Structure 1
Amino acid sequence: MQDWLRDNPQVKTIRVAAADLNGQARGKRIPARFAGKIVSDGTRFPLSVMNLDIWGEDIENSPLVFETGDADGMLYPTERGFLPMPWLEAPTALLPIWMYRENGQPFEGDPRHALAAVLARYKAAGLTPVVATELEFYMIDDSGKDIRVPVSPRSGKRRPGADTLALRALDAFDKFFTDLYDGCEAMDIDADTAISEAGLGQFEINLLHDDDAMKIADDTWLFKMLTRGLSRKHGFAASFMAKPYEDQAGNGMHMHFSVLDAEGRNVFDDGGPRGTDALRHAVAGCLAAMPGSMLLFAPHANSYDRLTPGAHAPTGVCWAYENRTASIRIPSGNPKARRIEHRVAGGDINPYLMMAAVLGAALDGIERKLTPPEPITGNAYRLDLPQLPTTWIAAIDAFEHSAEIARIFPAGLISNLVLTKRQELHYMEELSPEEVLELYLDTV
């Protein structure tokens, strides 16, 4: 890590940051000349910093605050090392960190450690998940009273409507996307295809699959940070908010994954389109955990505005082959790449918690040899299916009492997140729709 700083003498300041339960970056600014101490000795935050609400406030009645004297934890660099922050004017580096207790044990309230624990279970079973993510976001001019699509730097005009898979929509913001891909390369984020989506000023970028699931979670967190930062540098907002426009499509975050055995074989591949028993066991695990996981797939008040029938956001618990109305889709194509696409989550998720929930549920299904219901055919919105929680409070309750969630996450994290979301729920009721939009627009 010190070599990176020596090779980049233009960097004068460092940000050290960890992801809290809401996926917010919490950290410090440090002169670069003192960075060596952080690398060797770490830094300290109160444990409670990983468990703040969306406004950055302490959680009332949290066992991490007054009850335990608001004690410190130790934060050490992750394996990611230093990364440039191209959205800032001055040359600056980000050093991702994660939290441990004073005795050296991972802090169970850190979402990155929650994913690490799930991945350790895969390793112990001789398995390796291969993961990719697809992120949707809106580019928004929020300089006036009402939000709208930004003016194109090329034409000086606003795009009048949605334009799915239109090159002209991408070309209208070519400078932004060029800077975004350059930023991804500099930060070692493997960004692949970009497309224009169904919403007004909506786009999607795919992050390439990798057999290091933690890197993909890091990439997803960092990509959101990069995209939001660069958009402001270009004079507009980029929003991963689940539903910024009432009458436009919501932002999703689809996750694709397969699983390799110790010899590197895809355990979902049976040589044909159907897939193996292991694939069906993984699907069954994901379906069983889906209602309890909803708080992680839809973590905010606005998240539930996206979950409406017929809007390409799943509302029923089901799976299908090559069917985008289902909550779990098995894509067609080369059997060697047979995989599961989990389609429930919104763009406003914490990627560490979301991926831990999906991968933990899939492993649970594989280990317990769970059997899924028959795959659906046709339009899922017209079928009589078990329904996902459709309100924030119902999702909080389901998460708190889910046996499947208790097998994936430590009790302390579950309790902390429930306290956080109940506090947010309480104070959110005081906000107008305009204030909710302002809160979430380029926060989540």
Structure 2
Amino acid sequence: MRPKSGLRLNKTSILSINDLLQFDEFLDEVYAQCKKLDIPADAALAENGCGQFEINLLHVDDPLKAADDAILFKQVVKAVAARRKLTATFMAKPFGLQSGNGFHVHCSLLDKDGNNVFDDGSDEGSDILRHAVAGLLKTMSDCTLLFAPHVNSYRRFTPGTLAPNNVSWGYENRTAAVRIPGGDSKARRIEHRVSGADANPYLVCSAVLAGMLYGIENKLEAPEPINSITYDEAELKTLPLDWLSAIRKFESSDVIDSLFPSEMIELLIAVKKQEAKRFAQQVTNLEYLTYLQDV
């Protein structure tokens, strides 16, 4: 519902200034609360989904603070929305026919002198950048459970929606799982696009950093970047595209054991198996409508 006009949202309006104006009081309060909590909230824009907005958080040099900021930001948005009799959600796919909610992580690495080690002055970036990309691609399928932790998470991986569903990378390619943004080489960085907004920021940041380190330490070589729409590249390896497959991949992975503590791995597997079992026992209304009288 548009707060000012009272009309129900009924279409997508990506980059719409009017949609921002309809929600300006809500957004102003979000920014005010973020300022109080030292959350570096930056530009807001209307996204591709109906009633979907994106607010970027500025870079910080501490991954733990970045995760703290993401958690606090979600709480701020939900609280401000509730106070205005609105509902804010960070579900990965709240509406089946609308765009899902992503959690894109941008990261670069600085040396002890503050220099960006991904930057070699070129548009392609340094060897270290490509090693980091290779590590992310190598560990991506094994870590999918961290990027997509819930049953609803996998509804987001729909081809053609700019949510990646394969192991891929490219320069300025928004259909790839790993994108290298253009611009000033001093800001050369990696954008990891797999996670949904429902993911745990601490686990996502840990998985991204661990994957990059894995590639750098082992000097892994990245494949050729993809410049085309990745959904059309049949030879690309797909991510686990359902919850149970992701749980099994995480549990059977040899790489995961080298990235995370054993206690964390065992606990996460146990929790997700229990959660998946609970969901599997629920019969949906759609099943009743489809099968109750016709089978």
Relative to the length of structure 1, the TM-score reads: 0.63
In structure 2, give the amino acid aligned to 1:343.
Answer: R
Shift of 1:338: 0.3
Q: Distance in 2 between matches of 1:165 and 1:279?
A: 31
Task: Check if 1:407 corresponds to 2:258.
Answer: yes
3-state secondary structure, aligned to 2:105: strand
Match of 1:204 among 49, 54, 64: 54
Superposed, 1:287-436 pairs within 5 Å as 287-383=137-233, 384-433=235-284
Shift of 1:228: 1.2
Q: 1:433 to 1:323 in 2, by over 3 A?
A: farther
Q: Distance in 1 between matches of 2:278 and 2:130?
A: 41
Q: 1:174 to 1:434 in 2, by over 3 A?
A: farther
Q: Distance in 2 between matches of 1:433 and 1:194?
A: 36
Alignment deviations for residues 32-83 of structure 1 (CA, whole Å, 9 cap, x no partner): xxxxxxxxxxxxxxxxxxxxxxxxxxxxxxxxxxxxxxxxxxxxxxxxxxxx
Superposed, 1:86-165 pairs within 5 Å as 150=1, 152-165=2-15
Shift of 1:263: 1.0
Q: 1:304 to 1:433 in 2, by over 3 A?
A: farther
Shift of 1:432: 4.8
Q: Distance in 2 between matches of 1:184 and 1:160?
A: 29
More helix by proportion, 1 or 2?
A: 2
Match of residue 168 from structure 1: 18
Contact 1:281 1:362 in 2 (8 A): yes
Match of residue 183 from structure 1: 33
RMSD over aligned Cα atoms? 1.2
Q: Distance in 2 between matches of 1:235 and 1:180?
A: 14
Alignment deviations for residues 388-436 of structure 1 (CA, whole Å, 9 cap, x no partner): 001101100111122222222101110100000100111102335579x
3-state secondary structure, aligned to 2:6: coil
Shift of 1:251: 0.5
Shift of 1:160: 2.4
Q: Distance in 2 between matches of 1:159 and 1:233?
A: 20
Match of residue 218 from structure 1: 68
Relative to the length of structure 2, the TM-score reads: 0.94
3-state secondary structure, aligned to 1:253: coil
Match of 2:132 among 258, 282, 289: 282
Q: 1:314 to 1:234 in 2, by over 3 A?
A: same
Match of 2:117 among 267, 288, 303: 267
Larger radius of gyration: 1
In structure 2, give the amino acid aligned to 1:171.
Answer: L
Shift of 1:157: 1.6
Contact 1:361 1:404 in 2 (8 A): no
Contact 1:255 1:341 in 2 (8 A): yes
Equivalenced residues, count: 285
Alignment deviations for residues 130-151 of structure 1 (CA, whole Å, 9 cap, x no partner): xxxxxxxxxxxxxxxxxxxx2x
More strand by proportion, 1 or 2?
A: 1
3-state secondary structure, aligned to 1:193: strand
Unaligned residue ranges in structure 1 (runs of 5+): 1-149, 436-444
Shift of 1:158: 1.9
